[in-house]
Amino acid sequence: MQTSDDLASAARLAIAESPSGLVFCERAAVSGFRHIEVQILGDTHGGVRHLWERECSIQRRYQKVIEQAPSTLQDRSFVARIIDAALRMARHIDYVSLGTFEFLARCDAGAPHEFFFLEVNPRLQVEHTITETLTGCDLVRAQLLVAQGAAFGDAALGLDGLPVDPALPPPPRTHAIQCRVTAERVHSGWSLSVGRVADFNLPTGSGVRVDTALLHGHAAVVGPDFDSLLAKIVVCATTWGATVAKARRALADTRVVGVSTNLDALRAVAASDDFAQGRCDTTWLERELPTLLREGLEASRTLDAAGFLQEGATARGSADLVGASNSAVVLRKGDAWTLTMMAPENVDKPSGGATTSAPTQPHHLKLLRVLRNEFPAALAAEVAYTTPSGPDPVSGPQHFRLELAATSASSGSIMAASKHRRGDASKAGHVVIPFAGRLVEVLVDVGDVVRKGDVMCVVAQMKMELEIRSARAGRVVWITEAEDGEDVAEGSLAAELEVEEEQRPKL
C-alpha cells in the first residue's frame, strides 16, 4: 500500500489470502527495526531449547533476501531478552518440534531498546542452514528424532554444548550468511523470470555450502506457480568480516544462464559498507535499491570483463524462454518437410522388412503462411498437410491452422504465450501484463470507463496476488479472453482502452 487511497484494495487482497476471511492489524514497527528470529526446539518431555538467533533484515516487500546468524546487534544482553521471550512462550504452550519465533527489534543509540513479537512459524524454515552451520546440529534429523520421542539428553540429537538458557553473554564463535539466488528480474521490478536454466556454476570451497535442486545434465524450468528460489549459498567463518568476504567471493563465483537472477542485488548488498558494519534495518534494501542495483550491475560487468562469468553467458544477457522476441530458426512461406512415422521396432529394419501393419509412407507438410515465429518456444502458421491416405489428387492437400507451443518447458505460461493476444507497451490504449502468472480475475468489462490507476485485473505469481493497473483513463473496448485461473504469459494484453488524445497546448 502506497497511499491511503490504496487501503480498500490492500484490505481486499489481505482478506482474500485468509482462509477464514479474518485479518488483524498490528503496530507498524518499521524505522530502525531489525527482523530477529529465534530457533526453538521442544521435545515431547517438556524440554525447550534455543539454538541462538538469526537476523533477516535484508528483505524486500517482507520477503527475505539474505540472512545471517548470529544477528549483528551489538548489545547481547538485549538479544538475550529476545531469546528469553521466545523460550517463555514456547514453554507456556508446551511447544514440540522445531519452531521459529520471530520478532522486530530496535536498539539504536539514543532510542529506546524495544522489541515486538511477530509470529511463530511451526516448521523448518528456508534459513535453517545458517543455524546448522552455527551449532553443528542437523535440524532435519533432530526434528525427526524428537517426533519419535527423543529427549534432549539423547546424544543422537547433537545438542551437547549448546546453551540451555539465554544467559549467554558470549555469542557463538562462528558466523554464517545465507544468500538466496532467485529467478527474478531485479532491474524490472523484481518480476519473476520464467524459462529454462540452460547452464550454471555454483561456488565451492572451505566454509561454503550450496543447497539446490539444479543438476548438470537435467532440465530445470522456472514456472509461475512455485517459489523462484534456485539455490541457497551459505558461507561461514570465525569472524563477521571474514564471513562477509567469503560471501563476496562465493557470489562472484556464481552464474546462472537462461533466466535472469537477483545476483546483481546480492553482490551489491554483500559489497556495501552498511552490510559489513551491521547497519541494515528492514527498510534498508528498498531505500538503497536504486544505488545498489547500479553498483551490482557494474560489479557483474567487471566480473564479466575479467572472464569470471564467461563473457556472453551471463543471466542478464540471456533471453528468457517466454521473453524471446526473435526466433533462432528462420521459417518462411513455402518451407516444406517430408515426415516419416513408423513403429520403433521397424526403425533399424531394411526397406521392406517391416512386419507391422502401420504404414511407413511419408507425410508432407508445407508452410503457406507464417503467422508467428518464436520457434522452438512457439509457432503459429497456416499449413498444407498431406497424408498417405489423404484426399485424392483432385481435392489436393488439407489446410490447417498450426499452433505449436514448447510443452517441454513444463510451464503453462509458456504455452499461453501463443494462446493469448500480445500487448504493446508503446500503445497508449494497451494494458499489458508485465510478468508471467495465473489470472485471478478481471475487474472490468467492455464498455466500462476507467480512470488512471484503476485496477484492471489481478494476477497471482508464486505467493503474491499482484494488481495490474491502467496507466491512462479511457473506455474499455476489449478484454482478455483468458479465464480465471488460467496461465498468462509475460507481455499478454489484459485490456485495450479507447483513450482521448492529449490536448496539445495552443501556440
Residues of the chain with CATH 3.30.470.20: 29-317
3-state helix, strand, coil in the chain (%, to 5): 25, 30, 45
DSSP E strands in 70-123: the ranges are 97-106, 114-121
Q: How far apart are the first and last CA of the chain?
A: 41
What pLDDT is attached to residue 289?
Answer: 94
The model's pLDDT over 218-233, given as tens digits with 9 standing for 90+, comes to 878 887 777 889 999 9
In angstroms, the CA 139 to CA 141 distance is 5
What pLDDT is attached to residue 104?
Answer: 95
323, 434 Cβ separation under 8 angstroms: no
According to CATH, what is the number of the domain 29-317?
3.30.470.20
Residues of the chain with CATH 2.40.50.100: 415-498
Give me the residue label for grid cell 496461465. 487
In angstroms, the CA 318 to CA 323 distance is 10
What pLDDT is attached to residue 200?
Answer: 93
Residue 463 CB burial class (10 angstroms; 0-12, 13-18, ≥19):
exposed
| Residues present in the chain in total | 507
What pLDDT is attached to residue 405?
Answer: 67
What pLDDT is attached to residue 166?
Answer: 52
What pLDDT is attached to residue 471?
Answer: 92
What pLDDT is attached to residue 377?
Answer: 61
281, 57 Cβ separation under 8 angstroms: yes
Distance of CA 366 to the CA centre of its chain: 41
The ranges of the chain with pLDDT < 50 are 311-328, 354, 408-411, 503-505
In angstroms, the CA 269 to CA 207 distance is 20
The model's pLDDT over 61-98, given as tens digits with 9 standing for 90+, comes to 888 999 999 999 989 889 999 999 999 999 999 999 99
What pLDDT is attached to residue 32?
Answer: 87
What pLDDT is attached to residue 319?
Answer: 41
Helices (H), 202-312: 240-252, 263-271, 273-276, 284-305
- Does the domain spanning 415-498 belong to CATH 3.40.50.300? no
